[in-house]
Structure 1
C-alpha cells in the first residue's frame, strides 16, 4: 500500500479546492445567465404579450428544469466534506490498494481495492461495489469490512465520476462507462479469480449494476449480481414523489435509469435485498424487478426493519448473501431455486 506524504495531501487538497471553486463559479455564471434570460422573457411577455414570447419562456423554463435534474439526483457533496475527505480502508483495519482508472471517455476515477490475504485472495469472491447517490466510498467502509470478514470477499469500492476523488461530472452515461472500466480492471488482474466477480449495487448503484450486467458484452463475465433497495426507473420514481409527472414524455427526463426495461436481460444468478421499512424507494419496486428478472436462479430476501440506507445492518443480511452464493456455487447450471421469495 502506497504511503502518502503530508505535502501530497496538501497539494491534493489545494487542487480539489481550486477545482471546486471553479465549478461553483461556472455553475453560478450559468444559473445567472438562465435567470436573466427567463426574467427578460417574463418582462417582454408582460409588456408586449405575444405567442412567440410565451413559447420562448416555456422553452427557457423547460431547459432550466431539464438541467436542474442532476442536482436533484446526485449528491456528491453530501456531507460538505465528501469531495475533500475520503476515509481510507486502513482506518478500519482493512488492507487495500488505492487505484485510479481511466474510462473510455478519458475521465480518471478513483477506487479502493480491499484485498484478502495472499493465501486467500485467489480463491475469494470479488465484489464490485456501486454505492448510492450521496457521499463517497469512504462512507461505505463498514459495509465493505463486513463483506471482507463475514463473506471472505475482496471488495472494489468504485467512486463514480464527480464523487470523492474522481474527476468529471455525474451522469447516467458517464456512470455506465465508470462501471465498465471497473469491471475491465478486475478482469485484467491476474491475482484474483475472475470467474467469481459479483456485481453489487445499492439504491442508485443498483441501477448501475443492472445496466452493466444486462449488457451482452459483460453478462458472461459476471458470476452473480446483488442489488439492494433500488428502483424500477427514475420516471416512475418521479411519479411517486410529484403527482402528474407521469404525463411528461420520456424526453423530459435527463436521467432515466430504466431498470424495468433492462432487468429481463439479466441472466446471471441474481439476489434482491429489500428493506421493507424503506421510505424512499417503495419496496414493491424491488419485488417487481425480481419478478421481471430474466435469471433462472434468483432470490428475493426481505428485511422487515430494513430502511433505505440501513438494510445492511439488519440481522441475517450477510447470512442471506452467503446462502445465495452457496446456491450459485452448487447450481452451476443456474437452475431455479425452489423458494424464490423469502
Structure 2
C-alpha cells in the first residue's frame, strides 16, 4: 500500500495545480474577455456583415449621420428630422402652440420640437429599433437621434463602458452644436429640449449621460434597466455570480442618481416578466429617483420634487425585449412627452 502513497500524493498535487491553473485561466478569461459576455451583439462583429435596416425601409426620411468621437471612432447613426408638412398627414400627433403659426419657418418648426435621443439595448443594433423611432417621429412629432454604439451595426471600434459613454456624449454634443437644433433666439419658438430614451443597457448609458450633463437634458425615459452590472450578474449569469466582483464594466447607475436634478421628469417602464433584469432592480432605481431630496412649494403646499417628477409603470406581461409592445406602453410615453412643455423644463 505504501508504494501507492507517493503516486496518490503526486496525483493530488497535480490535481490541485491543474485546478489552480484552470481557476487562474477562468478568472483571466472573465477579466479580459467580459466584453464578449456583456456586449454580445458587438462580437465577433457579426452584425457588421449583415445589412443594417434603414428608416427609409419603413418610409421615413432620414439623414445618415457619421459622428466622430474624440478618440477617433466613427459612429454610423440616423437622424430623423421633423418637417412641417407632416402635420396634415398625422392629425393625431402631439401639437404645440407654435404649430399653427403660419409664419413659422421649417427650421423654426424643427427647433420647437422635442428631440429624442435613443440608446438601444444590447441585442442587435439601432436598425432593429426603427419601428420604435417611427412612433416617436410620426405619432409624437419628435426629432429622433438614433445612436449606434461603437462596435454595433456599422459603427467602428469595440464596445466598453468608457467607449459607450464617449459615444453618448458625442451624440449630445452634436445636437448642442448643430445650428438647426440649438436654442433659437426667436421669441415665438421655445428652445429645443432633449429627452433620453434608454432600453436595458441603454438606460445605463442615459443615466450616465444626464448625470454628467444635468443642465442639458430635459427628461429621461427608462425601460428595463438595472442598478449596476455587478448586481445583475448573479441573476443574468448565475454560474458567474461568485465572480461578480471581477466585473470591471460597472455601469453603476444607482450611484449616479443624486447627480440628476430632482426636478427632471423621469418615466420608468418595467416589464414584470423580464427574464434578464429582475423587476426589483427597476423598483430600487425608482425609489432612489423618488427620494431625491430637493423640495418645491406650489399652491402653498410643499412637494418632494423627486417623487413628484418620477413616474413608474409596470407591465405584468412585459419581458425584457417585448415590454415596448405591451398595451398602454406607447400611450404612457406619448402622455409623458406631451406633458413636457418648454415652460416645465428645469435646466
Q: TM-score, normalised by structure 2?
A: 0.75
Work out the number of aligned pairs and report it: 287
RMSD: 2.7
From 46, 57, 63, give the equivalent of 1:97: 63
Task: Report if the CA contact (8 A) 2:121-2:200 is conserved.
Answer: yes
Identify unmatched segments of 5+ residues in structure 2. Answer: 1-9, 85-105, 184-191, 293-304
2:201 matched to 1:204?
yes
2:141 corresponds, among 120, 134, 152, to 152
Q: Aligned in 2, Cα 1:115/1:333: closer, same or farther, shift over 3 Å?
A: closer
Cα 1:69–1:46, aligned 2, differ >3 Å: closer, same or farther? farther
CA 54–311 in structure 1, closer or farther in 2 if over 3 Å, else same: closer
Q: Label 1:82 to 1:50 Cα distance change in 2 as closer, same or farther (>3 A).
A: closer
Deviant stretches of 4+, over 4 Å: 45-58, 77-81, 242-249
- Between structure 1 and structure 2, the one with the greater Rg is 2
**In structure 2, what is the equivalent of residue 170 of structure 1?**
159
SS of residue paired to 2:281: helix
Take 2:11 and 2:339, find their aligned partners in 1: how far apart are those partners? 68
Describe the SS at the equivalent of 2:72.
Answer: coil
Q: Is 1:274 aligned with 2:276? A: no
Counterparts of 1:48 and 1:285, CA distance in 2: 44
What does 1:75-224 align with in structure 2 at a 5 Å threshold? Answer: 75-76=40-41, 82-84=47-49, 85-118=51-84, 119=106, 120-192=109-181, 195-215=192-212, 218-224=213-219
Which blocks of at least 5 consecutive residues in structure 1 are unaligned?
A: 1-44, 335-342
When normalised by structure 1's length, the TM-score is 0.76
The residue correspondences of 1:216-235 to structure 2 (distance < 5 A) are 218-235=213-230
The correspondence of residues 289-304 of structure 1 with structure 2, limited to 5 A, is 289-293=285-289, 294=292, 296=306, 297-304=309-316
Q: Tell me: CA distance 1:62–1:80, structure 2 relative to 1, closer, same or farther (3 Å).
A: closer
Residue 323 (str. 1) matches residue 335 (str. 2): yes
In the superposition, relative to structure 1, how do residues 110 and 46 fare at CA in structure 2: closer, same or farther (>3 Å)? farther
